[in-house]
């Protein structure tokens, strides 16, 4: 029996709940190898008596670790450290209008880039099952409007309406750094933050700075096309790694790293969406997260972590980003407020070591001198006053209810035609359709009935037919979802 009374210490006066303190400490014991794979833990009643705590506190701590994949419960036997936990040996973590006379083709030659051809996602009117957009009707528009007006009354107008810091408005960088530290476990300062126009700009800047022609980037076999296009645009080679129900397969990634090393073309970057993998929404398992960080330290590649919808996770606490455990400076963390508030508000961010942020800011100057200072100030005010945090809580409850209702509707209306797993988070369901259904024809039939949905063809890896698409539920009310599923059923049955 380990001396748990000495190993576990709680502070009942701290702001962090006691069960969270216990869960975090037990997780560290597993990560350090003190608790090994398959090791049985004391019962909650026994450990509660030992620590002088209420048993339900221990139950909540165990449930937290069960949800995150660090523990497993065996019926009739007890609670054990999961069998896929880390090796017991401690490991270092390391649109303008064209004039009629304008020609369609230029008089000079240029080379079109076929990999840039991708449908542009928009917010169509009417009923929709989109890619996973937020409901703009929930956004705190009144508060945002007041914050905008305050910009005109505050400080020196010469300063407000002149050139600003390329890295972003100081208020937003300060408040965002604090918000990310509190909600995502990061250890960052405003100097580690670059404000961008959405996460796609962050991905573009990071790709331009960190990649050179012939570099090798590893991504999931299914991945976000917007990121892949940026990698290809630098001249890099993109190699796929399998993604299963536990996220990116790090064993396969390790084999790929070893093979590329022997070929003299080492992996330069690994792109991941670990919280909710795009497009399939699965969460990268805890041991694979740590393994990925270890591989980055071993092979020296950059981890480009795209955390596009961290704020919406419905199962237990959101699992912390890879960047929160990055002790070697291997992670470039990219996020956005676009999915959290509204797509029209082009505010994203990059978090990285200060030397990288400085270079990214210099690169950004030749693309876009600075962001929208008024919008950045207003968003900073919403974070500072707690408006954005309250909005996240409200939206989270609403989207979780819509997810549950939408999944129930799909299961009832199309039990044979559509297969899916209810997502733990995010704003969309990854749905695969019966192979006999042609997705392009299905999307067209749905459009003719008044329902907009993507055909999903751009999710297909080369030479494969997934026959799946993302069905967004968050931007529609329950009544709208009911109508949308009815039209989807009609389109499926009318082939």
Residue 256 maps to a domain: yes
What is the predicted pLDDT for the residue at 6?
Answer: 83
Residue 89 maps to a domain: no
Cα–Cα distance measured from residue 242 to residue 51, given in angstroms and rounded to the nearest whole number: 43
Q: What angle do CA 66, 69, 71 make, to 5 degrees?
A: 50
- Give the mean pLDDT of the chain: 88
- Verify that 221 and 294 share a domain, yes or no: yes
Domain final residue pick, 386, 408, 424: 386
Higher-confidence residue: 461 or 94? 461
Mean pLDDT (whole number) for 438-445? 94
Residue 90 maps to a domain: no
Give phi and psi for 384, each to the nearest 5: -60, -40
What is the predicted pLDDT for the residue at 462?
Answer: 83
Work out how many domains the chain is built from and give that number: 3
Residue 309 maps to a domain: yes
Q: Tell me the pLDDT tens digit for each residue of 181-219.
A: 998 889 999 999 999 988 899 999 999 999 999 999 999
- Verify that 355 and 432 share a domain, yes or no: no
- Verify that 418 and 435 share a domain, yes or no: yes
Q: Which of 48-57, 88-97, 304-313 has the highest mean pLDDT?
A: 48-57
What is the predicted pLDDT for the residue at 124?
Answer: 64
Domain final residue pick, 333, 355, 386: 386
- Verify that 133 and 227 share a domain, yes or no: no
Sheet holding 348-351: strands in order across?
Answer: 193-196, 348-351, 331-336, 302-306, 267-272, 216-220, 237-241
| 410, 418 Cβ separation under 8 angstroms | yes
Higher-confidence residue: 150 or 137? 137
What is the predicted pLDDT for the residue at 85?
Answer: 66
Q: Tell me the pLDDT tens digit for each residue of 361-404.
A: 999 988 887 767 888 888 888 999 999 889 989 999 999 999 99
Say yes or no to pLDDT of 122 above 70. Answer: no
Q: Which CATH number belongs to the domain containing residue 207 in this structure?
A: 3.40.640.10
| 429, 476 Cβ separation under 8 angstroms | no
Cα–Cα distance measured from residue 68 to residue 405, given in angstroms and rounded to the nearest whole number: 24
Neighbours of 420 (CB within 10 A): 19
- pLDDT cut 70: percent of the chain above it: 90
Residue 318 maps to a domain: yes
Mean pLDDT (whole number) for 20-40? 90
Give phi and psi for 420, each to the nearest 5: -160, 165
What is the predicted pLDDT for the residue at 176?
Answer: 94
- Verify that 131 and 152 share a domain, yes or no: no
- Verify that 307 and 179 share a domain, yes or no: yes
Q: Which CATH number belongs to the domain containing residue 438 in this structure?
A: 3.90.1150.10
- Verify that 220 and 359 share a domain, yes or no: yes
- Verify that 132 and 203 share a domain, yes or no: no
Task: Pull the structure tokens for residue 391.
Answer: 């909005």
Q: Which residues of 381-392 are buried (b: 16+ CB within 10 A; e: fewer)?
A: bbbbeebbeebb
Mean pLDDT (whole number) for 174-186? 92
Domain membership of residue 445 as a residue range? 127-138+390-493
Q: Which CATH number belongs to the domain containing residue 51 in this structure?
A: 1.10.10.10
- Verify that 270 and 410 share a domain, yes or no: no
Domain final residue pick, 368, 386, 404: 386
Say yes or no to pLDDT of 465 above 80. Answer: yes
- Record the pTM: 0.79
Residue 227 maps to a domain: yes
Residue 299 maps to a domain: yes
Q: Tell me the pLDDT tens digit for each residue of 226-283.
A: 999 999 999 999 999 999 999 999 999 999 999 999 999 999 999 999 988 999 999 9
- Verify that 360 and 395 share a domain, yes or no: no
What is the predicted pLDDT for the residue at 488?
Answer: 95
Q: What are the residues whose beta carbons fall under 8 Å from the beta carbon of 71, sequence distance 6 or more?
A: 26, 41, 62, 65, 79, 80, 81, 82
What is the predicted pLDDT for the residue at 154?
Answer: 63
- Verify that 367 and 394 share a domain, yes or no: no
Distances in whole angstroms, Cα of residue 330 to Cα of each of 128, 244, 271, 344: 39, 24, 12, 31
Residue 428 maps to a domain: yes
- Verify that 352 and 469 share a domain, yes or no: no
């Amino acid at each position: 029996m380990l001396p748990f009374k000495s190993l576990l210490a709680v502070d009942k006066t701290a702001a962090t709940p006691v069960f969270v303190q216990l869960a975090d400490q037990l997780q560290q014991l597993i990560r350090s190898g003190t608790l090994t794979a398959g090791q049985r833990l004391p019962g909650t009643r026994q450990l509660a008596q030992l620590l002088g705590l209420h048993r339900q506190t221990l139950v909540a701590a165990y449930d937290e670790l069960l949800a995150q994949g660090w523990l497993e419960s065996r019926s009739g036997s007890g609670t054990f450290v999961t069998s896929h936990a880390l090796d017991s040996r401690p490991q270092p973590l390391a649109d303008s209008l064209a004039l009629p006379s304008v020609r369609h083709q230029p008089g000079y030659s240029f080379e079109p880039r076929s990999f840039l051809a991708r449908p542009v996602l928009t917010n169509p009117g009417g009923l929709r099952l989109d890619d996973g957009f937020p409901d703009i009707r929930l956004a705190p528009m009144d508060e945002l409007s007041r914050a905008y007006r305050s910009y005109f009354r505050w400080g020196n107008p010469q300063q407000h309406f002149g050139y600003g810091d390329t890295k972003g408005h100081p208020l937003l960088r300060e408040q965002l750094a604090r918000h990310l530290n509190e909600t995502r476990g990061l250890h960052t300062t405003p100097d580690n933050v670059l404000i961008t126009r959405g996460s796609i700009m962050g991905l573009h800047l990071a790709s331009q700075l960190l990649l050179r022609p012939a570099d090798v980037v590893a991504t999931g076999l299914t991945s976000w096309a917007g990121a892949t296009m940026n990698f290809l645009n630098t001249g890099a080679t993109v190699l796929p790694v399998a993604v299963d129900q536990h996220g990116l397969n790090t064993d396969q990634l390790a084999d790929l790293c070893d093979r590329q090393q022997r070929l003299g073309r080492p992996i330069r970057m690994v792109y991941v969406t670990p919280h909710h993998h795009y497009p399939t929404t699965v969460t990268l398992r805890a041991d694979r997260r740590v393994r990925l960080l270890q591989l980055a330290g071993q092979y020296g590649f950059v981890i480009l972590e795209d955390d596009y919808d961290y704020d919406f996770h419905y199962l237990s606490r959101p699992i912390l980003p890879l960047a929160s455990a990055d002790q070697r400076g291997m992670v470039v963390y990219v996020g956005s407020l676009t999915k959290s508030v509204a797509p029209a508000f082009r505010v994203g961010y990059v978090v990285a070591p200060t030397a990288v942020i400085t270079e990214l800011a210099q690169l950004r100057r030749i693309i876009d001198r600075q962001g929208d200072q008024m919008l950045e100030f207003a968003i900073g005010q919403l974070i500072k006053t707690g408006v954005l945090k309250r909005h996240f809580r409200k939206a989270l409850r609403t989207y979780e209810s819509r997810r549950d209702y939408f999944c129930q509707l799909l299961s009832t209306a199309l039990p044979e035609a559509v297969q899916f797993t209810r997502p733990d988070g995010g704003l969309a369901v990854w749905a695969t359709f019966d192979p006999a259904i042609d997705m392009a024809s299905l999307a067209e039939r749905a459009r003719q009935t008044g329902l907009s949905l993507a055909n999903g063809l751009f999710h297909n890896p080369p030479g494969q037919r997934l026959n799946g698409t993302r069905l967004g539920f968050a931007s529609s009310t329950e009544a709208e979802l009911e109508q949308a599923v009815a039209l989807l059923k009609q389109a499926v049955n009318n082939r």
